[in-house]
A and B are shown apart, each in its own frame.
Chain A
Amino acid sequence: MKVLVAVKRVIDYNVKVRVKPDNTGVDLANVKMAMNPFCEIAVEEAVRLKEKGIANEIVVVSIGPKACQEQIRTALALGADRGIHIEADEDVQSLDAAKLLKAVVEKEEPKLVILGKQSIDSDNNQTGQMLAALTGMGQGTFASEVVVDGEKVNVTREVDGGLMTLSLSLPAVVTTDLRLNEPRYASLPNIMKAKKKPLDVMSPADLGVEIAARLTTLKVEAPAARSAGIKVADVAELVDKLKNEAKVI
């Protein structure tokens, strides 16, 4: 079966994020960018399905400026077969991303679409579910285990009270959580090979989608800073402070 994986280019998770002095956003100039960690997990899961002989083709898609071809190449180096870059310079919000992905789903007809549960920049946790609704597919969100079984997929989900397992008819959408797998690193030979793998570039217009942002960010501020408190000498002092100073026990 064919698996479609969506990946997003975001600020590297190790980078200390700084809000711009004019409060219009965060400073992305000259900071390290990378594939969203949850998308790495999505790529890894697809590659494992291919290694098990369940998937026979992995198509990776990314939406964004030209630079996000880097992340597509990374996915190709990790084992995806071909890439689709939907070039969009403007801010593409979740609903539009889902509409673009829907158009790709209609063209490619994958049996399984795997996305990260959230991107670590906007922290929205929306696109996979929106795509599933727009395409009329079932969804297994926050997956910690994915088992394909004929025309069904069983997805174990990380939920507030523990774990929950669902059975979905294929085609279906899965969004990844942290425990689904541990992504591998790309080897140098595979990075070289990835450069020759096919990568199609298209525009939202090619897919018949008009980008129409519904949300306007009025301002972005730094969070209220928490000042460091004091160091206590021992446990007795700690308990005394909690009881008599902070009065929280």
Chain B
Amino acid sequence: MSILVIAEHDNSSLKQATLSVVAAAKAIGGDIDVLVAGENCGAVAEAAAKAEGVAKVLVADNAAYGHFLGENLGELVAEVGKGYSHILTSAGTTGKDFMPRVAALLDVAQVSDIIRVESADTFVRPIYAGNAIATVKTSDSIKVVTVRPTGFDPVAAEGGSAAVEQLDVVKDAGLSSFVGEEKAKSDRPDLASAGIVISGGRGMQNGDNFKMLEQVADLLGAGMGASRAAVDAGFVPNDMQVGQTGKIVAPQLYIAVGISGAIQHLAGMSDSKVIVAINKDEEAPIFQVADYGLVADLFEAVPQLEEELKKVL
């Protein structure tokens, strides 16, 4: 078997999610190559070459891939990937965008968002917002799979020494072009890979009040998340949404503040190791999954939490 992993990156650094995808590839077994498609992405290729278990790194460095347009990546990956038994990438918004195009171009099914590998053709994935866990077998000769990074412990980032090979395949479908972006700038750890996450919900009442959570997050070195209600209300940007249809997180510690615990929210965080809930309603469903629940008004509890943490950290 030979597996092609498509790296997730931002042209300058390799996302940790890719190391989890390589781990999924190792669980399948076989030679693992990594494709880095981007623009001026040499540093990413070097990082990928050092990852544990990678045999070869293929680099497609071209302006056509600079913004990870789904049409161009789809064609590139379908062409490079057709010689492999498996094509894997992480289930972030880039992978979700281009990978189904790859599957359609190869006339195969895609298995989305796997959390476990049973065998080379059988995978485990959550459905119905994680209310059910399906074991799915594919009969296609090329298996196109997206991987939920929280399901696999990342391989070591250092120690490997894979060969790096430049590809000169340029696929520019000419169907779409990049206009602009608004990237949330933050020095905090990336939500998806942070060891501690603190999230706020509708109970925060407005965006300004999230500053209280930021102060706690800074003390803990935590990433910041939110419920859909908080994003819909405009308190915080969309990329902070945790849940079935937002980001999936599984940190060591997840602190939910003013979040009721709707099933769609739980779908994104219930694999966290320790869950803390701060909510004034003792009946809130979040308490059913919380290891430590505090029934309190968050406007009193959060400043106290900051003070108490300062004492012990």
Binding site for B on A (CB under 8 A): 11, 13, 16-17, 19, 25-26, 38, 93-95, 98, 117-118, 120-134, 136-142, 144, 154, 157-169, 172, 177-179, 214-223, 226, 228-232, 234-236, 238-239, 241-243, 246, 248-249
Partner of B308, one of A133, A134, A221, A236: A236
B104:A129 contact, CB within 8 angstroms: yes
Contact segment of B25-33, B55-63, B177-185, B202-210: B177-185
B305:A94 contact, CB within 8 angstroms: no
On chain B, the residues within 8 Å of A243 by CB distance are 312
Partner of B135, one of A26, A219, A229: A219
A selection of 16 A-B contacts at a CB cut-off of 8 Å is A17-B131, A95-B103, A126-B110, A132-B101, A133-B74, A139-B70, A139-B97, A163-B181, A163-B238, A165-B178, A216-B139, A221-B135, A226-B270, A229-B293, A242-B274, A242-B276
Closest to A13 in B: B264
Beyond A94-B109, A215-B137, whether A141 also contacts B131 by CB under 8 A is: no
Q: Does B128 lie at the interface of the complex (its beta carbon under 8 Å from any beta carbon of A)?
A: yes
Task: Count B interface residues, CB 8 Å.
Answer: 94
Closest to A166 in B: B176
On chain A, the residues within 8 Å of B244 by CB distance are 120, 123
On chain B, the residues within 8 Å of A140 by CB distance are 176
On chain B, the residues within 8 Å of A141 by CB distance are 70, 93, 96-97
A246:B308 contact, CB within 8 angstroms: no
Partner of B101, one of A133, A167, A169: A133
A249:B312 contact, CB within 8 angstroms: yes
* Cα of A219 to Cα of B311 in the assembled complex, Å: 50
B130:A246 contact, CB within 8 angstroms: no
CB distance from B263 to the nearest CB of A (A): 8
Q: Does B239 lie at the interface of the complex (its beta carbon under 8 Å from any beta carbon of A)?
A: yes
On chain A, the residues within 8 Å of B43 by CB distance are none
A26:B132 contact, CB within 8 angstroms: yes
Partner of A229, one of B139, B263, B282, B292: B292
* Cα of A161 to Cα of B192 in the assembled complex, Å: 11
Q: Which of B288-309 contact A (CB under 8 A)?
A: 288-296, 301, 304-305, 308-309
